[in-house]
Structure formats: structure tokens, C-alpha cells
Amino acid sequence: MNIPIKNIYYLLSYAWNKLEEGSKMNLQEDDYSTSLNLFARVFDNILTIIIKRGLDRNYIAVKDKIRTIKGRIDFNSTIKTLSHLNKKYYCDFDNFSEDILTNQIIKATLRTLLNSDINSELKTHLKKKRLSFSSIKFIELNNTHFRKVTIDRNNAYYQFMILICKMIHENSVLDEESGNRIFREFTGTDKQYAALFEAFVLNFYKRHVSKKYKVKGSEIINWDMEEKDPYFPLMRTDITLENRKTKKKTIIDTKFYQDIFTYNYDNPKFHSGNLYQMYAYVKNFNVEKNSDVEGMLLYPTTHTEISTEKYIGGHKFKLQTINLNQDWSLIEKDLLSIVE
């Protein structure tokens, strides 16, 4: 799906709930020429902020042979190596250091960008900033490192950077000639785009319509049955909007396909599985909550635009597309219009 790079950046900023930070990056139109330079520019801007504030530090466990006793003496290693005869002792202690996981992730990402085909101005900026990480050891970055990161109020200013680093890592490959990891253009898999679009829509509505609606994500609907059966699949919504005055519910399920239609003898049809799923959501939600409820299937598109609604079994069902290949102000307008 051919989504403009500028719009992908907005999608990510909403999905990560970092719209304010993302809007402060002072990006120029030239930065949107390629996703490679765009995210390298964002990385460079955030890194400037981090270096000005000072690299985060934390206590790390250290085992070392030292003359001064510090922390806990490792008697086994000390006696085994006879180091005590030279008045040196193996000790286990905590050291307050910059050489922590978050900084190691940034340094590894910095190396990936410097090995990539970013513009010369950005490369010069990043090379200068590399000096600030001279005391940080280099790690071969993998997905496990990101799962181990802990963000709290003391290092909250690192959160946006770690999200950018993760995105760059997931879209980098090993260059066969140099043996280095390089960042490539952001293309994204259907699975990545599906998760991105869902998170974007949820956070967009939380930000823009929360005065009129209660906005929830991932709400479980129970089957209308006498006894629960563990073999029945969970029904879990993507997004639910509840009108604060009328209490009317709108269940929104976001989908991502390269083509919003399936074809039967060249005749376009809506995806039947999506319709069956939404029908089950609405009918069972109505019984469980005893409320006025409607369903909406929301598809991103860059070409074919569809907006249709039908009453099925006494409930309104909408099938709606959002064109992501247009100016962002129009995307916002369209998203607001389908719920207002």
C-alpha cells in the first residue's frame, strides 16, 4: 500500500502516543523524501535532546579484581587465583554507570544509521554525537534487548528514542558486502501495518473525541450462552466508542488488506469473515449489555474509497474506508466525520 512517508510518520506518532514529541522535531519537506532520511533525522533530533540532558545512568553489577575491598568479596575466585597475595581481591559490587541497556541500544542504532545511505549532513551530525557514547559498549542488537528495556519517570525522555530505535532495527538488514546492518526504506509487512492502523485509530479517537465518547480498546464480549465453554474463541473488540449522553455503542474493527475486496468471478465482494465477525460482536454485545449498539468495519486505503451502511437484524453496520494517500488534515476530517 503506497502510503506517503509523511503520513506514516503521523501514524506512528499517534500509535506510539507521541504526537507532541513528534511534532517538535522541526522536520522540513526534504526530510520526507525518503523514510531513511526521515527517521535518521528524527533519531538525530532526539539524540540531541538526550545528550543535552545527559545520558541516563543506573547501577550495574560488576565483578572485578581490585585492591580496595568493595561490595562483596568473591573468596572462591580470590583464593583460587592467589590474588590476595598481591593484595588484590575479586569483588562483586554495583557501579553507577552510563553503560546500560538503553544507551547500548542507541549506540547500536547509531552504528546502523552511519552504515546506511543517509544524507551527508545527517551522517556528519551523527558522527559528532558518537563521541558521547565512547564509554558505552557495543552490542549486536536483537528483539530481546527491546523487551528488557524498562522506562520509568526517571528516564521517560528515552521512550520516544527507544521506539524509533526499535522501528529502525525491525527495518534493517545485514549487508552482505560489508557484513554490517543497514537501515532500509520503511515498507512494513501487512501484519505491521494492521497493528499500526489499529493503534493509530484508537489513540486518534482517544485524543479527539473523548469529550463526547468513552473510548476503549480491547473489550471482551461474552457469548450469549447458558454456560461458558473454554473451547469457544474470545471475542475481543479493537475499539469501542460509547456516546456519553445517549449511551449508544459503536464497535469498530480495523482491518488491513492490500485490496479491501475479495473477488468471485471478477465480482468484488466484502470479506465475508469480517462481516460474520462483526455481526457476532454486535449481536452478543447487545444481549450482554442490553444496549443500543452498531458495528463498523474500518479499512485503510490509498485508492478505492467505500462508505456504506446497512441495517442487519435491527442493528446498523458500516463499512468504511479511510484514504491514507491524502493530506493529513483531510484524514483527520474523515475520521471525525464517520463518528460525529
DSSP string over 140-176? ---HHHHHH----TTSGGGHHHHHHHHHHHHTEEE-T
Residue 329 binned pLDDT confidence (cut-offs 50, 70, 90): very high
174 pLDDT exceeds 90?
no
Looking at 3.30.200, 3.40.50, 3.40.1350, 1.10.3470, the CATH number of the domain 190-337 comes to 3.40.1350
Q: What does pLDDT average to over the chain? A: 90
Residue 226: per-residue pLDDT: 83
Residue 315: per-residue pLDDT: 92
Distance from chain centroid for Cα 62: 33
Average pLDDT over residues 325-336: 95
pLDDT above 70 covers a percentage of the chain that reads: 98
Domain ranges of the chain: 5-57+99-183, 61-96, 190-337
Distance from chain centroid for Cα 6: 16
180 pLDDT exceeds 90?
no
- Alpha carbons 137 and 100: distance in angstroms, whole number: 9
Are 133 and 110 in contact by the 8 Å Cβ rule? The answer is: yes
- Alpha carbons 136 and 9: distance in angstroms, whole number: 29
Task: Please write the tens of the pLDDT for every residue from 51-64.
Answer: 999 999 888 877 77
Residue 67: per-residue pLDDT: 67
